Structure 1
Amino acid sequence: MPDRISTVNQVFTAESVISEPLLFKEMRLYSAHLKRLVKLTLLQPAILPDTIPMSVLLVFDGQDFPALRMQKTLEENCLGFPEKPLLVVGIHANKDRIYEYGTASQPDYAYRGNKAANTTHFVTSELMPYLKANFTLSKNRSDWSVAGFSLSGLMAMDIAWHHSEYFSQVGVFSGSFWWRQRALEDDYEESDRIMHSIIRNTPSRPPIKFWFQTGTRDEESDRDNDGIIDSIDDTLDLIAELERKGFAWGNDIRYEEVQDGEHHPSTWAKVFPDFLHWVMKMKS
């Protein structure tokens, strides 16, 4: 493909496969912002009148859908919501994942995530317009959600926080909330965590609902030696920042801590049905 291509209209679609009750489709959408073809996996009800608008769940790390058992999960858990059909869009990462996911306003101390702003622009100005032009989708932001895992969970949190005009719910599985502007060996302080600082320094309170998950075996690191692994500490500290903004635990915030849960799709797959039901109930 020529390097000078700069239009979202370059779309390559694989043959759709109907596996009742879902329609499975894979496609590639060219992004001028990321300067590459982005692979997408789309799952939606197989039989649905064109007049019924679908809710939308965008999921980063779509390449992990097989390991997450996404198709089976949707088949088993979405049938209870026939009046609220859902389109799930998996956004695949590639070899530049560590640079394309992160916080859009600031890379980490090692300059990872320096293309996160490009990912944000891809989602908001290329992917979403394409979806709206080619599918019958809800126009209500209350019907749009975004989710991710590990580093892509941080990406989902960042994009939802800054673009609540598009998204009303966000799901973060084992989020990389350790993301920091200073290395541990360089006089690191807890205030160096980037997403925490973003929330703390945002004057407004975006109208978002949050679903967080951690596992007690996400990692072994415990930098403050308090007996709690960093993954849990960082997530709970982020929730504390949200509470200081006025978000309420149990109302605006849902937190699931999985005993023996690992930083792996096998754990995330087990709790994804719970997240899916939370998303659908939030749309009620």
Structure 2
Amino acid sequence: MATEIPDISAAAQVPGAPTLPARVSLHPRFHSHFLRDDRDITVYVPPQYEEQPDRGFPVLYLHDGQNLFDPSTSFVPGRTWRVAETADAVIEAGEVTPLIIVGIANTGDHRLKEYTYVPDWKMGGGEADKYGRLVTEELMPFINANYRTLQGRENTGMGGSSLGALATLYLGLKYANVFSRLGVLSPSVWWNHKSIISYVNETRLAHLPRIWLDVGTAEGRRTLADADLLERRLRANGWRPDIDLQYLHVAGGTHDEASWAQRVGPMLNFLFPASERSR
């Protein structure tokens, strides 16, 4: 049964902000041997990163990285997920364990290819396996080498929205030995005749990743019904509500950055709660 959270309009953001938020660093044109396009990487570190120089931190990798931090690069100019501001707030409130958050920018025209695991007969796609190798074999070693990370699956998460949520669920289950926490916001379950449902049904895992799943009630009847179907199949395959699965209907939630920004805090709270020691 989905729990509803209220629709709270995000504060207006001014396009063309001159700098990234505090403690967010840009690594431009990250190169991969698996995919042809370079992409920018942005990395948020919590206040404790500077205050406690001997401490390591868990890591959350998020897709569509240009929409997370900088209003000047977001898909909708001036509107981001406000990830840094929200992470600072929930960490300061003692709700979320301090963590590093890595934004992986998409590559525009090739986004659909990279975020889909099988081709659609009309739309193409199907390069998520290559993208997964970029993340796990190239980007993660880079982050571990340059930041004080806590390594191992229990300290590593992945998240995204729409097709990014689809990629998160697919790669999170494929690499369940790497990721133990998945943020699946407004997933594009519809892709390739909802084949992700079959993938969930066919995947057998020794350890189930913790999953945050949500959908906005204003995203359309099909999107809402598809998310309900996905939640039912996850429960049927062993995920336990409020333990390793949190499913929310977001009242009035829409399919855009402003709405996803409202969900960052609750998502972080479920995936990386301060009450739980990272192992």
Is the pair's TM-score, using the shorter chain for normalization, greater than 0.5? yes
Q: 1:173 to 1:83 in 2, by over 3 A?
A: closer
Q: 1:276 to 1:83 in 2, by over 3 A?
A: closer
Q: Which residue pairs with 1:170 in the alignment? A: 182
Q: TM-score, normalised by structure 1?
A: 0.80
2:272 aligned residue (270, 274, 280): 280
> What aligned pairs does 1:1-284 form with structure 2 within 5 A after superposition?
22-28=22-28, 29-46=30-47, 47-65=50-68, 66=71, 67-81=80-94, 84-95=97-108, 96-103=110-117, 106-180=118-192, 192-204=193-205, 206-219=207-220, 229-281=221-273, 283-284=276-277
Give 1:240 shift. Answer: 1.4
SS at match of 1:89: strand
Alpha-carbon distance in structure 2 between the residues aligned to 1:276 and 1:82? 9
Contact in 1 for aligned 2:184/2:212 (Cα 8 Å): yes
Gaps of 5+ in 2: 1-18, 72-79
Q: Once structures 1 and 2 are overlaid, which stretch shifts more, 41-50 or 91-100? A: 41-50
- The share of aligned pairs that are identical, in percent, is 25
Q: Once structures 1 and 2 are overlaid, which stretch shifts more, 196-205 or 155-164? A: 196-205
One-letter amino acid of the structure 2 residue matched with residue 52 of structure 1: R
Contact in 1 for aligned 2:160/2:168 (Cα 8 Å): yes
RMSD: 2.0
Give 1:84 shift. Answer: 3.9
Give 1:114 shift. Answer: 2.1
Give 1:81 shift. Answer: 4.6
Give 1:85 shift. Answer: 2.6
Q: TM-score, normalised by structure 2?
A: 0.81
CA offsets per residue over residues 192-224 of structure 1, 9 Å max, x none?
4111010112233542111111011113xxxxx
Alpha-carbon distance in structure 1 between the residues aligned to 2:100 and 2:217? 31
Q: 1:217 to 1:33 in 2, by over 3 A?
A: same
Alpha-carbon distance in structure 1 between the residues aligned to 2:63 and 2:125? 14
Give the number of equivalent residue pairs.
244
Contact in 2 for aligned 1:142/1:283 (Cα 8 Å): no
One-letter amino acid of the structure 2 residue matched with residue 253 of structure 1: L
SS at match of 1:68: coil
Q: 1:142 to 1:110 in 2, by over 3 A?
A: same
Alpha-carbon distance in structure 2 between the residues aligned to 1:48 and 1:123? 28
Contact in 1 for aligned 2:90/2:96 (Cα 8 Å): no
Larger Rg: 1
- Kindly report structure 1 stretches of 4+ aligned residues shifted beyond 3 Å: 80-84, 203-206
Contact in 2 for aligned 1:81/1:280 (Cα 8 Å): no
Give 1:50 shift. Answer: 3.5
Alpha-carbon distance in structure 2 between the residues aligned to 1:264 and 1:231? 13
Alpha-carbon distance in structure 2 between the residues aligned to 1:84 and 1:70? 15
Gaps of 5+ in 1: 1-16, 181-191, 220-228
One-letter amino acid of the structure 2 residue matched with residue 134 of structure 1: N
Q: Which residue pairs with 2:4 in the alignment? A: none
SS at match of 2:116: coil
Contact in 2 for aligned 1:156/1:170 (Cα 8 Å): yes
